[in-house]
Amino acid sequence: MDHYEVNADTLRILLTTDNHLGFVEKDGIRGSDSFRTFEEILHLARVHEVDFIFFGGDIFHESRPSMHTVHETVRLLRQHCFGDRSVHFEILSDGNVVFANTAFSCVNHLDPNLNVSIPAFAIHGNHDDPIGPGGLCAVDILHSAGLVNLLGKSSSVERITISPLLLRKGSTRLALYALGAIREERAHRLFLNNLVTFYRPTEEPDNWFSIFALHQNRSRHGPTSYLPEHFLPNFLDLVIWGHEHECRIEPEWNSSQNFFVTQPGSSVATTLSEGEAREKAVGLLEVRGKEFKITRVPLQTVRPFVFKDIILEDEITKSVSSSLDLAKQVEMVCVRHVEDSLTNVMSTPSGPSTEHEQVPNKRRKISSHSETSAKEEDDLVERVEWKPPAEPLIRLRVDLSGGFESFSAYRFGQRFIGRVANPKDLISFNHNREKLAAAQARRALKSGQNDGMDGSLDADDVAGSAKKKVGLDVVEVEKLVRRFLTKSGSATGILTTEDASVLELFTPVELGHSLQQFIDKDSRDAIQFLVESIMGQTVKYLRVRKCPEERIVPDITSFCQTRLGSSNASENEDGCSTLEAPDSSKTGGGTCLYYFYCSVQ
């Protein structure tokens, strides 16, 4: 991975993941953060003259982005990725195979109706995943508009086949495998049961530089709520891991599978956690032959984020802690830390700007002319200077262990309005942090999960586990459906066929999933889509059986109970805590490897 000069054999790729466009777009202070950084990323692609950009999932923050978000995304992609600059790599794979589940099978820069200077390839994430009739996602709009090329979209939930996008530049040949986000338990089960097939080129397959891009949990959140790295095939050279927001752009070697893993992280902080506070960057990947290197390119427009842990027992002496005004003393300690954080942010060399407009006046003046020469545009790209926003994000995680008292976090934030971007949630209080961490460790040890913990236990997560959950997840929605739409709920929580006598056409799992899509994804036609789909399947089932009129109702009930049994079996398999990882030496890393013919001229 030594430094080498760029030449006709070097592929230059800009790597970015989890852009979350439209995050808190209605916030008067933070609403434009995601768009500002997204524009900087596209600007960096022009400055470094990359061959293409790769988005590793979650371009959008919501599955149904607002009109403003879609408009800004289209505007920025058109402004920075269209032009007369030539594309210097070839596409060797069949677009009808690689883009089988999209509207257009042609890469956008090869479309004679488009003038693309920087191609962009993307996968969908869990935030902008396909929903509703046709399984469309927000990135499908960008693909159909010719702005990006959507990869990794699968139409099957029982078996996945991944055909690579094959590219060639000079003597460098690259095979890009991609898989969009799927439910964690399903992904774990499919890889574990060898139901994921990777196709490889037949001509000298080991001479291709193989990249796999995915958008799943990398850190362990439960027995099957993540994808272990050793499930991936060992012929890969580099894995681009999306979904995790912590920036770990430097390649990490996996000695068991013999490939590198890079985790670009998010470009905007969507949670006030410790991992989000680390410096955010994009990666400049350079590939020549079988060699590669990744250069870290820090992002300048990211809003400064300071995260601090405050242990009051170390801040306040015992004599003070026995005073009557203990809460006031705690508040003063927090005020001091916030003031220190603000001072440190303003004193950094690339401190935040005092203006909301981040683009120099010279750029606005040139852009206002109707005619701008290519040389002026090139000079313009070099002249742009990016600055972070003025108000930083600050989060104090205060440990109250030792008998300390909390205070009103909302009132505390009022004094910093106009100076910080998040005055409403500056403070997070933790009670008995050590006890909660110990309890979490004991539970993990009992369930055999302690080997998957990375040692960086987030106290906010630990404290949150002891609090009553607010809101509903898909499992809770399904439980509500089971409770109110069945005659007698099973005491074990597993619905049996005898419990489903009230529901004769739909199963509780199907209704629960549709309700979850309706509530969480704002899919207003989710229920209608379920009704039409199940009715179509039922009619087809009755026609195949050629049942007489008096058998229609019993056969409909029987068909419903059959689907119910399949749902319960799948649920038990997903929730099983005794699954063991496959032997990679026997299974090739948990995947089946097949070959397909690829004509390389």
- Cα distances (Å, whole numbers) of residue 475 to 63, 216, 467: 20, 19, 18
- Cα distances (Å, whole numbers) of residue 30 to 6, 265, 293, 421, 550: 38, 19, 34, 7, 63
- Half-sphere exposure in the Cβ direction for 295 (13 Å, CA): 13
Query: Can 127 be counted among the known catalytic residues?
Result: yes
Beta-carbon contacts of 493 under 8 Å, excluding residues fewer than 6 positions away, are 479
Q: How many CB atoms lie within 10 A of CB 532?
A: 12
Beta-carbon contacts of 400 under 8 Å, excluding residues fewer than 6 positions away, are 312, 330, 406, 429, 430, 431
Q: How many CB atoms lie within 10 A of CB 235?
A: 20
Closest CA to 185 of 573, 581, 590: 573
Strand ranges (DSSP E) for 416-479? 427-430
- Cα distances (Å, whole numbers) of residue 466 to 430, 448, 460, 461, 508: 11, 21, 10, 9, 29
Using CA of residue 473, residue 474, residue 476, residue 481, what is the dihedral sign? Answer: positive
User: What is the largest distance, in Å, between two alpha-carbon atoms of the chain?
Assistant: 87
Direct distance between the N- and C-terminal alpha carbons of the chain, in angstroms, rounded to an integer: 29
Task: Say if CB 4 and CB 44 are below 8 A apart.
Answer: no
Beta-carbon contacts of 433 under 8 Å, excluding residues fewer than 6 positions away, are 399, 401, 459, 462, 463
Residue 259, phi then psi, degrees to nearest 5: -140, 165
| CA 559 to the chain's CA centroid | 37
User: Per the residue annotation, which of 61, 109, 124, 127 is the catalytic one?
Assistant: 127
Query: Which are the catalytic amino acids?
Result: 127
